Amino acid sequence: MSIPGPKPNFLFGNLLSFFRKPFFQAYQDWYGEYGKTFGYFEGPTPILVTADLDVLYEVFVKQFKTFHARKVWPVQVDPDRDENVHMFFARGERWRRLRSIVNPAFSTSKMRLMTPMINQRIDQMMSVIDNHCTNQTDFDAYGIFQRLTFDTIADCGFGLKTDAMNNPDDECIKHCRGVIADTTKRPFLFMLGFIFPKFHALWIAIYNFLHHITFNPVFWLEDKMREIVRNQKKNKPSRTNLLELMLTSEYDATKDNIDVGEIDMNDKVVKRRLLTNEELVAQCLLFLLAGYETTSTTLAYIFYELAVNPKAQRRLQEENRRAFSRGRRRSRV
């Protein structure tokens, strides 16, 4: 095919580029060199990367039923057969079922119930930052945002009263950081997985075995989530949280209008109406990691950009002032 891209090595494809520079940097360089749509190889597997809005619209909207699945990584659970599969790893009708059970938890009304919890966590962060200002001490803004998003997702997600804001060494947040770093710690195993994807089951067995001889924070967090799910099944929490909403939400194939093409209704996994214990544990782990990492990184980027662009910062302050004074006026009426 005439898709432009870097020349691949016969064994590694273009994987060695990711050893020389970070993933995003390689993508940016290739984008600069080959344009909006380019291809490269992970071992024998061809990968298409695109930043072309027309192609993205075609994939995510017009032909979603053909493209709803995510890429299967060489070292991940089996998306169709394993029990502990979350939305990021699921595909086809299983993804649709997981998504339908989880969707109600993210409705506007449910989100509104969580606003007081989020505001409380922001107030805690503001008081930590105020202290730094009063004492004129430097602080790592990214670290503070990580602690904020971790405490918020722990609270809104599972009703956990963590205090990472005042205790940066909290075990749970330490292991979340560990998971993010851990993905790059087994490059040899991942490399083998990319080069020989057909042996997927072997790589995952080795990955699971390594857990018995070396510490892996993913398994620590999974155990923690199992304990939380067990407790919440026994005792109803005092305030609504995402886990509680998932426990009570059922899958209804007739109500859901996400079209994912042909469905095998004999499949036991597809027909289940509620989430199993291990599926619950997997979704909780996904929420914890997705909520914590993405939001804190986005906040850190925004604040960095504001710090180096005083003009934009002033414009934002102005807009905030206008919006909030309007809000105050309206609340007096």
Q: Which residues bind ligand HEM (CB under 6 A)?
A: 70, 87-88, 99, 153, 286-287, 290-291, 294-295, 298
Nearest to ligand HEM of 206, 290 (CB atom): 290
Nearer to ligand HEM, 12 or 150 (CB): 150
Q: Minimal distance in Å, beta carbon 54 to ligand HEM?
A: 18
Min. distance of Cβ 148 from ligand HEM in angstroms?
Answer: 12
Indicate the residue among 195 and 218 with the shorter CB distance to ligand HEM: 218
Minimum CB distance to ligand HEM, residue 239 (Å): 16
Q: Which residue has the tokens 């997600």?
A: 157
Shortest Å distance, C-beta 10 to ligand HEM: 29
Q: Closer CB to ligand HEM, residue 8 or residue 175? A: 175
Residue 294 Cβ vs ligand HEM, minimum distance, rounded to whole Å? 3
Closer CB to ligand HEM, 184 or 294, in the complex: 294
| Least distance to ligand HEM, CB of residue 79, Å | 12
| 289 phi/psi in degrees, rounded to 5 | -75, -45
Nearest CB to ligand HEM, comparing residues 56 and 205: 56
